[in-house]
Amino acid sequence: METCSVSGRKNGVNILPIAEYTIMENIRSKIFYILLLFIFIMAGSSLVFSSLAPYTEARVITDIGLACIEMFTLMTGIFAAVNLVLQEIENRTIYLLMTRPLHRWEYIIGRYLGVLVILCFNIITMLSVLVLLLKLTTSWTLSPMFIWSAVAIFFKMIIIVAVALTASLVFTSSITAMAFSFLTWVLGHFSSELKLMAERIQSFLAKGLLYLLYYAIPNFQLFNLKDKLGIPEGMPLDIVSMVLLYGLIYAAIFLVIGSLFFSKKEF
């Protein structure tokens, strides 16, 4: 039928343009000045502290450096993810997107991937500075576990950005969504303690609730390879890959939930 098809038109998956403009949006915002500032903070503080700890300079620089990288990407990641869609609703730029032949889930995935690309770039930039710092000031050598711990930081971001984005769609308030994401981050690192509490507590109801919380929240300690760099045998790589796959699936679950909420959303 003439009205159904329009010539010179393709209607494939529309994720890429959304991801690209998200990247552009970030590149052209001021976030990169903050990145530079953070690189200075990272370099400065790690050098100062390492000078106070003879024989453990490389360890101190590594620890502070990776902590800085993680905290910086966490803060920028949560902030960006939470405002990703809410800002577009508030600015009403969403109207012009949602009236295009674009599935709502494509929009969510595109925005999500765009932020991840930016975070990945930030991690790689800061990591390069860190490696340079270590090479120049100590007799440090690059170990596979160091690389894996940086990869695991990125996978933590894959999870927390999905959580933050979905929280923003469910709560439609950036403050609530940020608080939720932050709480998830903290409890996710505390999860082995949660399990221990669940095992020890007497009350059946409290036990159930604690177990539910324990399994609902991602176990970020599994991804926390940077804390385990001191362990000679490290984490076996088959477990690392299992954990990373778990991270991807966990993020996917949240994205499905987010997309479901978003598909019912009116503007």
Partner 1 sequence: MSKSVVWGLASIIILSVVAFTLRTTAENRYIYPFSPVSTMHYVDDNPYLELGAMFFGLRSMAADIVWIKTLQYYGGPTEGETREEHEHHIAEEAHGDHHHHHHDRHDADTTAYRKLYALCTRAVWLDPYFFHVYNIGSAAIGFVQERYDEAAALLKEGVVWNYNPNSVHYWRLNYALAALGYEKVKDYKNAIAILEKMIDPDDSPLILLRVLANTYEKNGDYRKSLKLWKFISHKFPDQEIKAQQKMKILAQRIAG
Partner 2 sequence: MPAVKVENLTKIYKKRYFLKPRYSVGIKNLNLEVEEGETFGLLGLNGSGKTTTIKLLLGLLFADSGQAFIYDHKVPDRKASNLVGYLPEAPYFYRYLSAQEIIDFYGRLSGVLEQDRQKKIDEILELVNLTNNRHKRLAEFSKGMLQRVGIAQALIHDPKILFFDELITGLDPVGITEMRSLVLRLKERKKTIFLSSHIISEIVKVCDRVGIIKEGELVKIVDLRQLKNKDAELEKIFLSTVMPSGQEGAS
Considering CB distances under 5 to 8 angstroms, the limit depending on partner class, which of partner 1, partner 2, none binds residue 266? Answer: partner 2
SS3 per-residue string spanning 22-84 = HHHHHHCCCHHHHHHHHHHHHHHHHHHHHHCCCCCHHHHHHHHHHHHHHHHHHHHHHHHHHHH
* CB nearer to partner 2: pick between 3 and 203: 3
* CB nearer to partner 1: pick between 24 and 71: 71
How far apart, in Å, are the Cα atoms of 81 and each of 194, 200, 247?
27, 37, 17
Q: Residue 238, interface with partner 2 (CB under 8 A)?
A: no
* CB nearer to partner 1: pick between 25 and 70: 70
Q: Residue 29, interface with partner 2 (CB under 8 A)?
A: yes
The binding track of 50-89 with respect to partner 2, each residue x by CB under 8 A or -, is ----------------------------------------
Considering only the stretches 7-15, 53-61, 147-155, 170-178, report the one whose residues sit in contact with partner 2 under the rule CB under 8 A. Answer: 7-15
Q: In whole angstroms, what is the distance from residue 57 CA to residue 107 CA?
A: 46
183 closest CA partner among 198, 153, 163, 158: 163
Q: Residue 107, interface with partner 1 (CB under 8 A)?
A: no
* CB nearer to partner 2: pick between 12 and 144: 12
Q: Residue 13, interface with partner 1 (CB under 8 A)?
A: no
Considering CB distances under 5 to 8 angstroms, the limit depending on partner class, which of partner 2, partner 1, none binds residue 53? Answer: partner 1
178 closest CA partner among 114, 86, 266: 86
Least separation in angstroms between residue 22's CB and partner 2 is 10
Q: In whole angstroms, what is the distance from residue 253 CA to residue 88 CA?
A: 23
Q: How many CA atoms lie within 13 A of 237 on its CB side?
A: 6
Binding-site member from 52, 54, 55, 99 for partner 2 (CB under 8 A)? 99
Least separation in angstroms between residue 162's CB and partner 2 is 23
49: Cβ contacts below 8 Å, ≥ 6 apart? 60, 64
214: how many CB neighbours lie within 10 A of its CB? 20
Q: Residue 227, interface with partner 1 (CB under 8 A)?
A: yes
Q: Residue 103, interface with partner 2 (CB under 8 A)?
A: yes
